[in-house]
Amino acid sequence: MADELVGILKKLSEAHGPPGFEEEVAEIIESELKGFVDEIRRDSLGNIIACKGSGEKSLMIAAHMDEIALIVKHIDDKGFIRFAKLGGIWDQLLVSQQVVIHGSKGRIRGVIGSKAVHVMKEDERKQLLTYDKMFIDVGARSADEVREMGIKVGDFITIDKKFLELAGGLVAGKAFDDRAGCTALIHAVKKAEPKCRVYAVFTIQEEVGLRGATVTGYAVKPTVGIAVDTTIAGDHPNMEAHEAPVRVGEGPVIMAADGRRESLSGGLIPNPKVKQWIIETAEKRRIPFQLEVLEGGTTDATAIQLSREGVPCGVIAVPTRYVHTFQEVLSLQDLERLAELLKGLMEEELPI
């Protein structure tokens, strides 16, 4: 099982799927699911809705396909490219990354340049460099050359990063948020013998405001909704346990509440029956799990719960170190257990 999961995760992690251009990721998911579900379609925004099983009640489980990315904002006379950010990115992480620009003539490689340390003034070295001071170098000498390469304002830019296997069953790579969720959901829906109508939904544009979940929640009209995502593991230096209590390797995380820092507004307080159902399913199948209150983030479930007259929702996540960097780290065993738990939920009677 771990081999199968790692193969899918690697493929999905190395694929490029900025918000609004999730095509490559969608194609991988469709080819993985073909023949394993009863029905699979893409809606007009690009969300994938796969259905398996039958019955009046339905369970929607959503994972998002998009990743944090950049977009071309300006090309200067010398051929350097300025960009805007798509999703929450800490600016410092961008310096010296290799990027891929998705232009009209195919993918163009570039790097995010910066001044050499030798020529920085003392105070410059201590300052944080913000993204609006950064630029991409594709090797062109003029704006015309950049245009000839097929690059224009509005083209998507993603970070290029190879998937790595570390010691102890840990893996590193980009976009585990939320290709890890996609991987677990693919695996679960393939293997499950559903008790009700199960919708495995792979959403677009989560990182810029839960947009895919908003329309698919409405379209699917599920009895119960669940989002599968990554969450912040705090088991590394410079983190106090109370800041991010969940740990890598201790099982999937069942969300007790999430939302904005200090108020938990704009997030999800899971339906108590749904939360208890997830906990009981984990216990029944002897899957270790962790409970979390996440201050400072939310998931697709927040949008699904507010569709139509409201949908009882819950969230399950993979504990992940360094979320929203381009080098996230998670445990394959956690991912395996998450897939097991999702499959379990698909095979249990709904609590509502």
Query: Annotated active-site positions, please?
Result: 206
> One-letter amino acid identity for 85?
K
Q: How far is the CB of 328 from Zn ion (least distance, A)?
A: 10
Q: Rounded to whole angstroms, how far apart are CA atoms 50 and 46? A: 13
Quick one: which of 230, 184, 241, 236 has its CA closest to 207? 230
**What is the size of the binding site for Zn ion (CB under 5 A)?**
1
Of the pair 24, 177, the CB lying nearest Zn ion is at 177
Q: How far is the CB of 139 from Zn ion (least distance, A)?
A: 31
Q: How far is the CB of 211 from Zn ion (least distance, A)?
A: 13
Of the pair 66, 348, the CB lying nearest Zn ion is at 66
**Distances from the Cα of 243 to the Cαs of 160, 230, 295, in angstroms?**
30, 16, 9
Of the pair 66, 336, the CB lying nearest Zn ion is at 66
Q: Judging by DSSP bridges, how do beta strands 39-42 and 164-165 pair with one another?
A: unpaired
Q: Judging by DSSP bridges, how do beta strands 170-173 and 328-331 pair with one another?
A: antiparallel
Q: Rounded to whole angstroms, how far apart are CA atoms 319 and 16? A: 22
Q: Does position 258 bind Zn ion by CB under 5 A?
A: no
Q: Rounded to whole angstroms, how far apart are CA atoms 13 and 175? A: 5
Q: Judging by DSSP bridges, how do beta strands 156-159 and 48-52 pair with one another?
A: unpaired
The answer for residues whose C-beta is within 8 angstroms of residue 29's C-beta and 6 or more apart is 12, 48, 65, 182, 186, 202
Subset of residues 31 to 70 that bind Zn ion, contact rule: CB under 5 A: none
Q: How far is the CB of 324 from Zn ion (least distance, A)?
A: 6
Cβ atoms within 10 A of the Cβ of 187, count? Answer: 23
Of the pair 32, 177, the CB lying nearest Zn ion is at 177
SS3 272: helix
Q: How far is the CB of 167 from Zn ion (least distance, A)?
A: 26
Of the pair 48, 227, the CB lying nearest Zn ion is at 227
Q: Are 158 and 16 in contact (CB under 8 A)?
A: yes
Of the pair 22, 177, the CB lying nearest Zn ion is at 177
Put residue 159 in one of left, alpha, beta given phi > 0 → left and psi -120 to 50 → alpha.
beta
Subset of residues 143 to 182 that bind Zn ion, contact rule: CB under 5 A: 177
Q: What are phi and psi of 95, to 5 degrees?
A: -60, 130
Q: Are 275 and 238 in contact (CB under 8 A)?
A: no
Residue facing Zn ion at closest CB distance: 177
Q: How far is the CB of 177 from Zn ion (least distance, A)?
A: 4
Contacts with Zn ion, residue ranges (CB under 5 A): 177
